[in-house]
Chain A
């Protein structure tokens, strides 16, 4: 009898890909947005992100030690969560906000369910919901302006949201505060606050090429990660090229928002919006960040192809509903969280038909 060799099930060759290579590529894909945030908001955005990442990674390591499972922080998934938590807060936030957010994301959002692969919700979004609920003024008010904002937010932005720079914590940088464009859009629905004469003018201002250009390149207030649609899209294109994200969720999500905001977004009834309004809605707020980096979170989105479309459309319907008739100006995070819950059900109901399915 000659040597005995180890056996294993086929296949015997393997693509060079692993959990950590996927996660680190996501980190890389988030870097353009990080650079854009540093450019538009200053180094504070980088510092907050670093605090957040350190908190996320240490929390993961400590909990894994306590659970007596291998510490797997080098796989990069906690780094991704840390970055995304920081990307979801205002740059004017105090340093402890992303730290608490990241601890919550990893402990309650991820490890409590058994760690990577078992969490039903996107941990970063769960943390955002937690932060918004716990410190509403820190997270949804007092937006930091980037450069001189376009006229609309400068003149009436502060007044309609009732923001006053003096009401903010003392340790935040002294920068102009202003409403986000979506905050303005929200206020438009409440004509008592603005007056029927001004509303069409403001609407035209929002749905203008100039506003959209500002949103696209990043010249507008918002949370750290959503500032520049261009930078986010660059990262998303890289992930799509590497087959780490797939087109179905982002495209169906954004497509749904486009159609619904075009149909329902106008202030004079159905189809009264200009075609620029849905484009405004795509680039405003967290939709690009959410659609390409959060909704596509592999753990919490459906694996079936039809399921991914349903998921994306569901996110789009919820986001538009919250933006147009809900109480918040922005609905991306809640939409995705709500669709996260539906993911197991969607997978069950969308079992793919095997190749060669006989038509009945």
Chain B
């Protein structure tokens, strides 16, 4: 099949068998949702509702806090009961709007632009922005910003990310199997907006049926093709996926995909884009994988944004053993969160539950300087040297060895025999070096 890939990377067990054969199930309406004002990279949105207001499903509850920001919408029908700080899937506490449902699901008025592909790129972007669409793969970058490159950086290729390289997660896989047409519609919209002539869908080899299905569907489409990728983590990282699918290298030290004429979007985001452009439907629901060895019935759930993780787990039958760790997202880059009273957001791709044994608590050993982290770093860095520089507060060395180029994929920590918490050290380095860089400017 001529599988593509990138240099470096690791091969964790994919663990997708728990949930990969579970068709997407619609989660019943929750009685209450909590919608964080910040679910994306950029300025938090500003609430435009107050406690006591009645809202319909899809109604705007907060407006974008700047250009790099997105609005939020009510995901159920009911009354605003609180605007307060809530636990957030990133493990922090952030301002959120609580809506208590009235049991109905009364939507704001949607349209249906059947000839949506004839809309102007600006109108399409406006609809995407108004629908509050951001990247649904995890980072949550506002989509309309990605689609607005400066004129000197033309885009010729759209890459859709169907790699889903995080172990355990199967939401994107189910989407590709069940909603392939919508994904392709979204891709066509993206190509129209950016003027790109080529659309690529990157899918890893452990999803052969998705590759086959999308290949069949794309056969008649001009400029669109499926790229089968070797099974390797972190293939779904933006720069790695661009290299795997196009052989282009995004420049380091702050380079963006647009510098090599590419925009990457997750397959789930493509569907949100299609729905936003055609129906003006705001992004108020998404597919999330609830999984883990101890989850009674692992599922792929289509749930409303703001649904509590605890409710999702309960709907999946709870756990068979005592919970050791709760992870929002995948096991490689997801956040361990302290409580299940945390709402899912637009970037919540998975809820992963570990038992006590899986929640290993390793003690850091001194670095053996074995170089395994250097061998596999997909960004070709020397993670052990960076971590050591941070440990001894040698910020110049940390910067020189590329702390800012690290994509935090966690491959280094995965292979480290000394169990060094490399990502934790690198994170500290990123903060400190970032501060120094901004001070220099």
Residue ranges of A at the interface with B (Cβ–Cβ < 8 Å): 1-15, 17-19, 21-22, 114-118, 243-244, 246, 298-305, 308, 347, 351-358
In the bound complex, do residue A2 and residue B339 qualify as a contact, i.e. CB atoms below 8 Å apart?
Answer: yes
Residue of A nearest to B373 (CB): A303
In the bound complex, do residue B336 and residue A5 qualify as a contact, i.e. CB atoms below 8 Å apart?
Answer: yes
Which one of A10, A246, A299, A355 contacts B335 once the chains associate, using CB atoms below 8 Å? A10
In the bound complex, do residue A14 and residue B91 qualify as a contact, i.e. CB atoms below 8 Å apart?
Answer: no
In the bound complex, do residue B359 and residue A6 qualify as a contact, i.e. CB atoms below 8 Å apart?
Answer: yes
Taken together as a complex, chains A and B put the C-alpha atoms of A235 and B215 apart, in Å, by 47
Among B317-347, those with CB < 8 Å from A are 323-327, 331-341
Which one of B10, B252, B373, B427 contacts A9 once the chains associate, using CB atoms below 8 Å? B427
Which one of B338, B368, B385, B414 contacts A347 once the chains associate, using CB atoms below 8 Å? B385
Which one of A7, A12, A300, A355 contacts B252 once the chains associate, using CB atoms below 8 Å? A355
Taken together as a complex, chains A and B put the C-alpha atoms of A8 and B362 apart, in Å, by 11
In the bound complex, do residue A356 and residue B421 qualify as a contact, i.e. CB atoms below 8 Å apart?
Answer: no
Taken together as a complex, chains A and B put the C-alpha atoms of A10 and B421 apart, in Å, by 8
Residue of A nearest to B374 (CB): A303
The reply on B198 being an interface residue by CB < 8 A is no
Q: Which residues of A contact B323 (CB under 8 A)?
A: 3, 5
Q: Which residues of B contact A302 (CB under 8 A)?
A: 371
Taken together as a complex, chains A and B put the C-alpha atoms of A3 and B369 apart, in Å, by 39
In the bound complex, do residue A22 and residue B374 qualify as a contact, i.e. CB atoms below 8 Å apart?
Answer: no
Minimum distance in angstroms from B358 CB to a CB of chain A? 8
In the bound complex, do residue B368 and residue A9 qualify as a contact, i.e. CB atoms below 8 Å apart?
Answer: no
Known A14-B413, A298-B370, A355-B7; contact A7-B91, beta-carbon cutoff 8 A: yes
Contact code string B352-387 (vs A, CB < 8 Å = 1, else 0) = 101000111110011111111111001111101100
The reply on B56 being an interface residue by CB < 8 A is no
Contact code string B251-286 (vs A, CB < 8 Å = 1, else 0) = 111010000000000000000000000000000000
In the bound complex, do residue A14 and residue B414 qualify as a contact, i.e. CB atoms below 8 Å apart?
Answer: yes
In the bound complex, do residue A357 and residue B252 qualify as a contact, i.e. CB atoms below 8 Å apart?
Answer: yes
Q: Which residues of B contact A6 (CB under 8 A)?
A: 324-325, 336, 338, 359, 361
Q: Which residues of A contact B417 (CB under 8 A)?
A: 17-19, 21-22
**Besides A12-B327, A305-B375, 7 other A-B contacts (C-beta < 8 A):** A1-B341, A14-B360, A19-B418, A117-B368, A301-B371, A355-B249, A355-B380
In the bound complex, do residue A304 and residue B374 qualify as a contact, i.e. CB atoms below 8 Å apart?
Answer: yes
In the bound complex, do residue B354 and residue A12 qualify as a contact, i.e. CB atoms below 8 Å apart?
Answer: yes
Q: Which residues of B contact A18 (CB under 8 A)?
A: 365, 417-419
Residue of A nearest to B371 (CB): A303
The reply on B239 being an interface residue by CB < 8 A is yes
The reply on B104 being an interface residue by CB < 8 A is no
Q: Which residues of A contact B7 (CB under 8 A)?
A: 355
Q: Which of B28-36, B73-81, B400-408, B431-439 contacts A (4 or more CB under 8 A)?
A: B400-408
In the bound complex, do residue B365 and residue A117 qualify as a contact, i.e. CB atoms below 8 Å apart?
Answer: yes
Residue of B nearest to A18 (CB): B417
Taken together as a complex, chains A and B put the C-alpha atoms of A208 and B181 apart, in Å, by 71
Known A246-B371, A356-B252, A358-B252; contact A11-B339, beta-carbon cutoff 8 A: no
Minimum distance in angstroms from B257 CB to a CB of chain A? 11
Interface of B is mostly: loop
In the bound complex, do residue B371 and residue A298 qualify as a contact, i.e. CB atoms below 8 Å apart?
Answer: yes
Residue of A nearest to B386 (CB): A351
In the bound complex, do residue A11 and residue B410 qualify as a contact, i.e. CB atoms below 8 Å apart?
Answer: yes
In the bound complex, do residue B239 and residue A355 qualify as a contact, i.e. CB atoms below 8 Å apart?
Answer: yes
Q: Which residues of A contact B169 (CB under 8 A)?
A: none
In the bound complex, do residue A10 and residue B249 qualify as a contact, i.e. CB atoms below 8 Å apart?
Answer: no
In the bound complex, do residue A118 and residue B366 qualify as a contact, i.e. CB atoms below 8 Å apart?
Answer: yes
In the bound complex, do residue B379 and residue A15 qualify as a contact, i.e. CB atoms below 8 Å apart?
Answer: no
In the bound complex, do residue A5 and residue B337 qualify as a contact, i.e. CB atoms below 8 Å apart?
Answer: yes
Q: Which residues of B contact A304 (CB under 8 A)?
A: 371, 374, 382, 385
Residue of B nearest to A353 (CB): B380
Minimum distance in angstroms from A117 CB to a CB of chain B? 3
Q: Which residues of B contact A21 (CB under 8 A)?
A: 417
Taken together as a complex, chains A and B put the C-alpha atoms of A305 and B372 apart, in Å, by 10
Taken together as a complex, chains A and B put the C-alpha atoms of A305 and B368 apart, in Å, by 16
Residue ranges of B at the interface with A (Cβ–Cβ < 8 Å): 7-8, 10, 12, 91, 167, 239, 243, 249-253, 255, 310, 323-327, 331-341, 352, 354, 358-362, 365-375, 378-382, 384-385, 400-402, 405, 408, 410, 413-419, 421, 423-424, 427
Q: Which residues of A contact B373 (CB under 8 A)?
A: 303
* A/B interface sample: 8 pairs, CB < 8 A: A14-B360, A19-B418, A117-B365, A298-B370, A303-B374, A347-B385, A351-B401, A352-B374
Taken together as a complex, chains A and B put the C-alpha atoms of A121 and B82 apart, in Å, by 63
Minimum distance in angstroms from B256 CB to a CB of chain A? 11
In the bound complex, do residue B370 and residue A354 qualify as a contact, i.e. CB atoms below 8 Å apart?
Answer: no
In the bound complex, do residue A303 and residue B382 qualify as a contact, i.e. CB atoms below 8 Å apart?
Answer: yes
In the bound complex, do residue A7 and residue B368 qualify as a contact, i.e. CB atoms below 8 Å apart?
Answer: no
Taken together as a complex, chains A and B put the C-alpha atoms of A157 and B91 apart, in Å, by 73
Minimum distance in angstroms from A233 CB to a CB of chain B? 21
Q: Which residues of B contact A5 (CB under 8 A)?
A: 323-326, 336-339
Q: Which residues of A contact B375 (CB under 8 A)?
A: 243, 246, 305
Q: Which residues of A contact B379 (CB under 8 A)?
A: 354-356
In the bound complex, do residue B336 and residue A12 qualify as a contact, i.e. CB atoms below 8 Å apart?
Answer: yes
Taken together as a complex, chains A and B put the C-alpha atoms of A308 and B339 apart, in Å, by 46
Known A15-B414, A19-B368; contact A4-B402, beta-carbon cutoff 8 A: no
Q: Which residues of A contact B251 (CB under 8 A)?
A: 356-358
In the bound complex, do residue B327 and residue A116 qualify as a contact, i.e. CB atoms below 8 Å apart?
Answer: no
In the bound complex, do residue A11 and residue B333 qualify as a contact, i.e. CB atoms below 8 Å apart?
Answer: yes
In the bound complex, do residue A12 and residue B374 qualify as a contact, i.e. CB atoms below 8 Å apart?
Answer: no
Minimum distance in angstroms from A302 CB to a CB of chain B? 8
Q: Which residues of B contact A299 (CB under 8 A)?
A: 368-369
Residue of A nearest to B409 (CB): A11
Q: Which residues of A contact B415 (CB under 8 A)?
A: 15, 17
Taken together as a complex, chains A and B put the C-alpha atoms of A357 and B251 apart, in Å, by 6
Q: Which residues of B contact A303 (CB under 8 A)?
A: 369-371, 373-374, 382, 384-385
In the bound complex, do residue A12 and residue B382 qualify as a contact, i.e. CB atoms below 8 Å apart?
Answer: no
Q: Which residues of A contact B421 (CB under 8 A)?
A: 8-9
Minimum distance in angstroms from A336 CB to a CB of chain B? 15
Taken together as a complex, chains A and B put the C-alpha atoms of A97 and B76 apart, in Å, by 80
Minimum distance in angstroms from B143 CB to a CB of chain A? 23
Taken together as a complex, chains A and B put the C-alpha atoms of A9 and B310 apart, in Å, by 21
Known A5-B326, A355-B252, A356-B250; contact A22-B370, beta-carbon cutoff 8 A: yes
In the bound complex, do residue A11 and residue B414 qualify as a contact, i.e. CB atoms below 8 Å apart?
Answer: yes
In the bound complex, do residue A14 and residue B402 qualify as a contact, i.e. CB atoms below 8 Å apart?
Answer: no
In the bound complex, do residue B335 and residue A4 qualify as a contact, i.e. CB atoms below 8 Å apart?
Answer: no
Q: Which residues of B contact A17 (CB under 8 A)?
A: 415-417
Residue of A nearest to B418 (CB): A19
Residue of A nearest to B397 (CB): A348
Taken together as a complex, chains A and B put the C-alpha atoms of A268 and B336 apart, in Å, by 70
Q: Which residues of A contact B423 (CB under 8 A)?
A: 9-11
Taken together as a complex, chains A and B put the C-alpha atoms of A115 and B366 apart, in Å, by 9
Taken together as a complex, chains A and B put the C-alpha atoms of A117 and B416 apart, in Å, by 14
Taken together as a complex, chains A and B put the C-alpha atoms of A88 and B2 apart, in Å, by 49
